[in-house]
């Protein structure tokens, strides 16, 4: 996979360490824009302010839903989804039938945030899914943002040039400063009886290659989906409360699909407000009624145009985000097909042509309108990614906060085994790269605290 295939946004710009790392490493970022380019289900195009108004109205309703979730978290029925709330809210807006329908169509884009359909999103725990705050940072540091349209907000930054340099910076303290074993799959994490060991290091780690090591304490950073599927890797078994906490969370299924063209044939501003001579950076295709073969669920599609980012990192590539059942359909259709093969290529093209062929200047006969390279991620079938993208708080989860606390605590105090990763992140950073980072810091502090406690007051 490429460094583009996972995350590409920095969620929350206030006090987010990744904002500073992005600046230090000259990573090209820009403030995430509102959407102002929408194809409705029947193929009609809404552009400019019309589309933006619709999008912002939807965002307003999501904000209201989040506030409602925060204020009423203990009393909301765990079976109620964000979709249940949203449908009622749309119906009470005093809109005519057509406007309601449009608002319902764009509401489906929640799937692109969490990787699963809005129908599964727990309303009770919705407040934990909002990202870290932002906005201030942009106002104070406009230089950070290298490409910006008048529509930009800076709650989120889009990383246009990939996370590569950020990743290298975060990895720096580890590489060359510790005994690092790459490509070593852990298959067993065993707590030995203390009497069995002459030294205190009583956590035995085994890898698939047969390597064994003993540690005083361990921070396990395998993904949620791995922990759910590999409870038997721990012996003695994890406490039932921890197994239940892990099982009550879900893995979302967000996938990214790249289509690379010989040139950006769509680069004409047809009131898409993408900037002079540019089509809109992001376009939504709501409830498509014209692609029933490959999109029987009329799942919303979202395309991002890499041709619009800062010129030094721009390229004629479209990025589609897909989620949930849509992801399952495509990744299953691609199973067993070799990347680069004609069949792989054609399968991807047949999935996305109904959408990209609607962009301005498309000409079916013109070779520049045909992708020359395509790539789909397949996190759903990836053991090491935990069979999905990241944690999703789905109905009927009862107490998301207590669940995450149980996971963060893991078996630390009793066995010196801690968990870190996006599934163990603080609320508001759950599912994100910054949340994973902060959970690692928290686990490291717990390790030090326990070490000090075990060493006694003299240490
Ligand atoms: C398509 C997509 C888009 C995303 N977009 C964003 C975004 O824009 N912004 C954002 O903040 N986040 C985004 N994320 C989420 C972000 O990538 C995750 O939150 C973050 O990577 C989680 O880090 P982690 O360390 O918890 O897990 P991971 O990054 O999944 O790392 C887990 C590691 O454990 C290793 N591993 C697994 N099993 C074993 C084993 N048995 N033995 C040894 N090692 C093992 C894996 O190889 C992997 O290296 C996105 C994710 C996806 C999939």
Closest to 156 in 3D by CA, of 266, 375, 304: 304
Mean pLDDT in residue range 31-51 = 89
Confidence tier at 151 by pLDDT (50, 70, 90)? very low
Nearest atom in ligand 1 to the alpha carbon of residue 433 is 11
Task: Report the distance separating Cα 281 and Cα 304, nearest Å.
Answer: 6
Mean pLDDT in residue range 290-296 = 95
Q: Is 442 exposed, middle or buried (0-12, 13-18, 19+ CB in 10 A)?
A: middle
Nearest atom in ligand 1 to the alpha carbon of residue 439 is 26
Q: Where are the domains of the chain?
A: 9-164+253-383, 181-251+390-455
Q: Whose CA is nearest to atom 53 of ligand 1?
A: 389
Ligand 1 near 436 CB (within 6 A): yes
Ligand 1 near 108 CB (within 6 A): no
Strand partners, 38: 46, 284
Torsion sign over Cα 289, 295, 301, 303? negative
Is residue 247 within 8 A of residue 228, CB to CB? The reply is: yes
Mean pLDDT in residue range 446-459 = 85
Q: What is the pLDDT of residue 196?
A: 55
Q: Whose CA is nearest to atom 19 of ligand 1?
A: 432
Write the pLDDT tens digit of every residue in 232-258: 999 999 999 999 999 999 999 999 999
Ligand 1 center to 223 CA (angstroms): 7
Of 26-40, 41-55, 185-199, 239-253, highest mean pLDDT: 239-253
**pTM of the predicted model as reported, rounded to 2 decimal places:** 0.91
Q: Pick from 433, 434, 438, 441 the residue to mutate for probing ligand 1's pocket: most ligand atoms within 8 Å of its CB.
A: 433
Q: Whose CA is nearest to atom 22 of ligand 1?
A: 422
Same fold, 9-164+253-383 and 181-251+390-455: no
Nearest atom in ligand 1 to the alpha carbon of residue 230 is 41
Nearest atom in ligand 1 to the alpha carbon of residue 185 is 42
In angstroms, the first-to-last Cα distance of the chain is 46
Ligand 1 near 221 CB (within 6 A): yes
Question: Does 3.90.660.10 match the CATH number of domain 9-164+253-383?
Answer: yes
Ligand 1 near 258 CB (within 6 A): no
Fold of 181-251+390-455: FAD/NAD(P)-binding domain (3.50.50)
Which of 146-160, 196-210, 349-363 has the weakest average pLDDT?
146-160
Q: What is the pLDDT of residue 276?
A: 59
């Amino acid at each position: 996979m490429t460094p583009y295939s996972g995350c590409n946004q920095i969620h929350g710009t206030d006090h987010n360490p990744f904002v500073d790392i992005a600046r230090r490493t000259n990573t090209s970022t820009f403030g995430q824009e509102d959407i102002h380019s929408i194809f409705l289900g029947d193929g009609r195009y809404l552009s400019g302010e019309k589309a933006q108004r619709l999008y912002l109205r939807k965002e307003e309703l999501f904000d209201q839903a989040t506030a409602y979730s925060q204020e009423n978290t203990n009393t909301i029925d765990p079976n109620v989804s964000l979709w249940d709330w949203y449908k009622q809210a749309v119906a009470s807006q005093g809109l005519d039938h057509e406007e309601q329908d449009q608002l319902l169509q764009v509401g489906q884009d929640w799937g692109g945030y969490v990787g699963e359909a809005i129908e599964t999103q727990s309303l009770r725990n919705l407040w934990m899914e909002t990202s870290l705050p932002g906005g201030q940072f942009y106002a104070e540091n406009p230089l950070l943002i290298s490409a910006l349209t008048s529509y930009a907000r800076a709650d989120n930054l889009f990383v246009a040039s990939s996370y590569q340099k950020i990743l290298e910076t975060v990895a720096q303290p580890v590489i060359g400063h510790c005994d690092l074993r790459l490509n070593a799959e852990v298959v067993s994490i065993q707590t030995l009886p203390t009497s069995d060991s002459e030294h205190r290091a009583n956590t035995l780690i085994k890898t698939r290659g047969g390597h064994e090591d003993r540690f005083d304490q361990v921070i396990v950073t395998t993904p949620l989906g791995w922990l759910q599927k590999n409870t038997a890797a721990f012996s003695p078994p994890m406490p039932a409360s921890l197994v239940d906490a892990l099982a009550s969370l879900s893995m979302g299924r967000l996938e990214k699909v790249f289509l690379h063209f010989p040139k950006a044939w769509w680069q004409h501003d047809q009131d898409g407000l993408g900037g002079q001579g540019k089509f809109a950076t992001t376009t939504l295709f709501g409830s498509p009624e014209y692609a029933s073969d490959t999109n029987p669920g009329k799942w919303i599609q979202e395309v991002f145009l890499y041709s619009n980012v800062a010129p030094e990192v721009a390229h004629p590539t479209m990025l589609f985000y897909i989620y949930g059942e849509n992801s399952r359909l495509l990744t299953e259709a691609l199973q067993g097909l070799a990347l680069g093969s004609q069949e792989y290529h054609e399968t991807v093209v047949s999935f996305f042509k109904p959408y990209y062929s609607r962009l301005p200047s498309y000409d079916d006969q013109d070779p520049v309108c045909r992708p020359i390279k395509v790539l789909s991620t397949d996190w759903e079938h990836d053991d090491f990614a935990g069979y999905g993208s990241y944690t999703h708080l789905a109905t009927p989860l009862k107490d998301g906060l207590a669940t995450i606390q149980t996971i963060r605590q893991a078996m630390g105090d009793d066995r010196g085994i801690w968990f870190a990763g996006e599934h163990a992140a603080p609320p508001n950073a759950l599912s994100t790269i910054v949340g994973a980072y902060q959970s690692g810091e928290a686990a490291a502090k717990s390790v030090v605290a326990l070490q000090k406690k075990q060493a006694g007051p003299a240490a």
